Amino acid sequence: MPSRLADPTATKAWFITGTSTGLGRALAHEVIADGDRLVATARDTSTLNDLVALAPDRVRALPLDVTDPTAVRLAVDTALKEFGRIDVLVNNAGYALRGALEELSDTDLRRQFDTNVFGALDVTRAVLPALRAQRSGCIVQMSSVGGVMATLGGTAYAGTKFALEGLSEGLAAEVAHLGIRVVIVEPGPFRTDFTGRSVRWADPIDDYRSALDPAKKQFLAMHGTQPGDPTRAARAIITATQMEKPPLRLPLGANAVDRIRERLQLRLQEVDATEPMGRPTDFD
């Protein structure tokens, strides 16, 4: 028997990972406000009680650790049983690992990639069969400015976001003919707890302190003063998912737009500068 949550009159069914805090939480609020159905996931579902209370007939909270393949498939199967479909998948779960590359342990690095990359890919692959059957749907991959440029102290995090961007760009080309769209979201600094409890730090090595300590101080000083408004970010993401042809990449915030533009211009300058050395390497 279909769940009472499977309301065919609702506009869309959303599946969002990492909705306990941050942009995922802001997006969940806006989805609910729009009257859509929502599967909100988090490792601890008690953090989602207030979301369910906003619209108990349209919101389902499910436990999900994206690094657990069994949990991923159970959550996706449950969502499909409850709603009958998934229209928008948002891979938002993730965290930042900061420190110099040499300071990071194998365990630190693997956990970072398992969550930010393989977790997102596992959820995506679990949802794709349903989207293919529907011949419709939108996959939103939460990247970062760090997916375009690496910053001091953010080497591992940037590595995960660079990987996610390349994989998502390839995915977009693979599924376009099936009516499935992919949007890579690139937020700058938003006023969430991303610079607070969502960050894990490596054990420092003295030789790196002179380079990384100023960057760490600047990073921590942003907490609570970031210019980005999470609610406005959520509205921009929702708007993108409603477009017939959404952008492949969506930078969010003036900081992101300016920094990404500057980085891409520098890349073009590098291409021009190295062309005399690189172009002649073809066979004559």
Average the pLDDT over 104-117 and give the result.
96
pLDDT at 2: 40
Quickly count: other Cβ atoms within 10 Å of residue 233's Cβ. 25
pLDDT at 214: 86
pLDDT band at 1 (very low <50, low <70, confident <90, very high): very low
Q: Give residue 10's pLDDT.
A: 52
Task: Say what the pLDDT of residue 220 is.
Answer: 79
What's the pLDDT score for residue 4? 41
Domains of the chain: 13-278 (3.40.50.720)
pLDDT band at 199 (very low <50, low <70, confident <90, very high): confident
* 3-57 tens-digit pLDDT: 445 445 557 999 999 999 899 999 999 999 999 999 999 999 999 999 999 999 9
- For 123-178, the pLDDT digits (tens) are 999 999 999 999 999 999 999 999 999 999 999 999 999 999 999 999 999 999 99
Phi, psi of 20 (to 5 degrees): -75, -30
- 130-135 contacts, C-beta under 8 A, 24 or more apart: 130/76, 130/80, 130/85, 130/86, 131/86, 131/89, 131/175, 131/178, 131/180, 132/175, 132/178, 132/180, 134/85, 134/87, 134/179, 135/178, 135/179, 135/180
**Residue 276, pLDDT above cutoff 50:** yes
Q: Is 70 exposed, middle or buried (0-12, 13-18, 19+ CB in 10 A)?
A: exposed
Q: Is the pLDDT of residue 244 over 90?
A: yes
Query: What is the per-residue pLDDT across 70-107, written as a single tens digit (0 to 9) for each?
Result: 999 999 999 999 999 999 999 999 999 999 999 999 99
> What is the pLDDT, as a whole number, of residue 215?
84
Gap between the Cα atoms of 211 and 154, Å rounded: 12
pLDDT of residue 184: 98
pLDDT at 198: 66
Phi/psi at 194 (nearest 5 deg)?
A: -60, -35
Higher pLDDT, 195 or 202: 202
Q: Which residues are catalytic?
A: 143, 157, 161
